[in-house]
Structure 1
Amino acid sequence: MPLLEIFLWAILVTVSIVGLLGNGFITAVNGHRWLRKRKMLPCDLLLTSLGISRFLLEVISLMGCVLYYISSEISLDSYAGAVIHFSWIFLNMTSLWCATWLSVFYCLKVANFTNPLFIWLKLRVNTLMPRLLGMSITVFTIFILPPFVDYSINKKWCNQTGTLPANASQSAICKTISGLFGPPQLVFGSINFSINVTASILLLLSLWKHMRNLKNSSADVKDLSTQVHINVMKPLLFSLFLYLLYFPGMVFFTMNIFTFGRNESLFPRLLLSAFPSAHSIILIVTNPKLKEVSARILRKTKDILERRD
């Protein structure tokens, strides 16, 4: 195995492990809190759904890579590969919608605009966000589930004959799965991208505007509030930057531009893994409850290690 490939795989595995640990931690903490209180706030619901979908997404991604290198017969266009590919598409889009509506939730909660529509959404954000999440996932499932069922039924015939004589227009199903799921994934991905980026930019503009208004305040208040706003804007900018890198990676992967199994195919996979992993760490650090639990775990771990020494 070439040195470059080993290096890229090492980074990919490391990033995937960070994603598994980060999203697993988010799911465990919020799940434990839900078991104790038997209720979950809309923000925690979005955060938990995001953690679960990303955790399963990382598992599916690693499973697909491992199975491919174990057996060359498990290709993208085999039935097993199709199941893995479909699972990845569903979980990827689910995680994207969770992240997007979470960004919209934060934007509506924190930002201040006088637009009537924005005010209307702000007053109903707790009710709207879970419903919009459910609607988004449902609509996407309706678009991709029938093609997958059709593919699953006809693939058996394709394996035997290599074509579908009853309907020549469906012969493409025998050739590739990328062309089958690619268009709806790109359409929904583009819609998701537009909403997420818009919400992030609006929140950043609102924070920046508020920082400028602080110039009329006293020096102590101005310095303290400015630092708070800067601390909020930094992770927002970093998350937005990672998402801007993530989207091209998703496009490359969806359009199957790079041949799977070759070194160049690892670059879009790195882009696809970097955003979920890094974003999970950002969410843990910026969420007071998650940050408190993580700090408590780190302190206990440190105490245990010191006792052993």
Structure 2
Amino acid sequence: MLTVMDIVILSIDLFSVVVSVPGHLFVMLVNLQDWTKNVKFHLNDQLIFCISLFSFVHGIVKICSDFSFCLDMGYITIDDKSYISVVLSTVSFCVLWYCTWLSLYFCLKIVNFNQGFYMYLQKNFHKMFPWIHIMSTMGSFLASLPVTWDITEHSSNSTNCAENQNLFLLVSNGKSLKVIMVVSFVAFLLFFSSSLSIIISLYRHIKRMKTNMQSLSYTSSDVHVRVTETVAALFAANAVYYFTLLLCAFLQDFYIWQFVIAIILSLTRAPRPIILIRANKKLEIRLRQWLHCCACIISTSNNSE
């Protein structure tokens, strides 16, 4: 039987999906329209599209599994838990890595260093695709396999809805936690270094703008600020998500913290579409156009009545 806390968690999960899914669909639809129209799929658009795609998949799978675990507890086998946990883990890793590649892409486009390897990456980063797509997806899947082993070893008689719906809680003391820590550490190392470089570059950019106003345009400054806000927001959202996962290892025995962790993990997904739309001027303009059209349609229908 569902408890009050179970209903609260399911409601927050549902709210997070309802809020984020339309935004992800908008991002994917606009990028697909431009791809079919212009034939070219720019690297920036590819990365944003992939983040939205995997975030969308994660939200749908998560809410479906939540309701399955809580409403049909007796029909969910240990194998079902293993499959679902691997999918969720793989998609989560993919989101993290594509956010990392997006941050690195912005860093290569904006920040200028004289180091040879950095200059090599600036010239050849776009040539590394589609290999980066393949390696990110396959690497995320392989890194998620230990979750299956830990789920299999876990008792299948658990009746705690919060624990069952948040599958990472089931494996927070096993092999998968070590894999999560290693994979996320490598990704965050790249993520943090590129984000920090962009922030330092913005600081220097503003400092030069104050001393020589004519040499720097408002447009370049606006783009720089937009990029900095994007990478900082993505870094914060992913950091909160994975830091919360690590807390599972230390707070697993505390019943109330299982609910708190599940709620935090759900809420970190909600603002992601807004961050991605803010990252791309084209998406922001298109969203305003769509909202304006919707407002005109509603206004026309109201006047006709």
Q: Please, what TM-score do these two structures have when normalized by structure 1?
A: 0.78
Matched positions, count: 286
Distance in 2 of aligned mates of 1:80 and 1:257? 25
In structure 2, list runs of 5 or more residues that go unmatched.
157-169
Which residue does 1:240 correspond to in 2? Answer: 235
What SS does structure 1 have at the residue aligned with 2:292?
Answer: helix
What SS does structure 2 have at the residue aligned with 1:124?
Answer: helix
CA contact (8 A) 1:15 1:277 kept: yes
**1:192 is matched with which residue: 174, 187, 190?**
187
User: How far has the Cα of 1:66 moved from its partner?
Assistant: 0.8
Distance in 2 of aligned mates of 1:74 and 1:187? 34
User: How far has the Cα of 1:302 moved from its partner?
Assistant: 0.5
CA deviation digits over 1:138-182, x for unaligned, max 9? Answer: 23433444874x789x88xx98xxxxxxxxxxxxxxxx7552533
Q: Does 1:45 align with 2:38?
A: no
Which residue does 2:115 correspond to in 1? Answer: 115
In structure 1, list runs of 5 or more residues that go unmatched.
160-175
Mapping of 1:137-176 within 5 angstroms? 137-145=137-145, 148=148
Mapping of 1:4-43 within 5 angstroms? 9-43=10-44
Identical amino acids, percent of aligned pairs = 20
CA contact (8 A) 1:97 1:133 kept: no
**1:280 is matched with which residue: 265, 273, 284?**
273
Amino acid at match of 2:53: I
CA deviation digits over 1:27-74, x for unaligned, max 9? Answer: 122122223344312222222111111100011111121111102336
Residues 223, 140 of structure 1: CA spacing in aligned structure 2 closer, same or farther, 3 A cutoff?
A: closer
CA contact (8 A) 1:46 1:130 kept: no
**2:287 is matched with which residue: 283, 294, 299?**
294
Which residue does 2:200 correspond to in 1? Answer: 205
Greater CA drift, 31-40 or 47-56: 31-40
Distance in 2 of aligned mates of 1:127 and 1:198? 22
CA contact (8 A) 1:204 1:236 kept: no
Q: Does 1:214 align with 2:209?
A: yes
Greater CA drift, 19-28 or 101-110: 19-28
Amino acid at match of 1:237: A
What SS does structure 1 have at the residue aligned with 2:41?
Answer: coil
CA contact (8 A) 2:146 2:175 kept: no
Mapping of 1:73-84 within 5 angstroms? 73=74, 78-84=78-84
Greater CA drift, 127-136 or 39-48: 127-136
CA contact (8 A) 2:244 2:261 kept: yes
Q: Quote the RMSD (CA, aligned, Å).
A: 3.3
Q: Please, what TM-score do these two structures have when normalized by structure 2?
A: 0.79
Amino acid at match of 1:30: N
Amino acid at match of 2:290: I
User: How far has the Cα of 1:123 moved from its partner?
Assistant: 1.2
Distance in 2 of aligned mates of 1:291 and 1:275? 21
Q: Does 1:69 align with 2:38?
A: no
User: How far has the Cα of 1:12 moved from its partner?
Assistant: 3.7
CA contact (8 A) 1:101 1:129 kept: no
User: How far has the Cα of 1:251 moved from its partner?
Assistant: 2.2
Distance in 2 of aligned mates of 1:183 and 1:146? 9
Residues 195, 5 of structure 1: CA spacing in aligned structure 2 closer, same or farther, 3 A cutoff?
A: same
CA contact (8 A) 1:215 1:222 kept: no
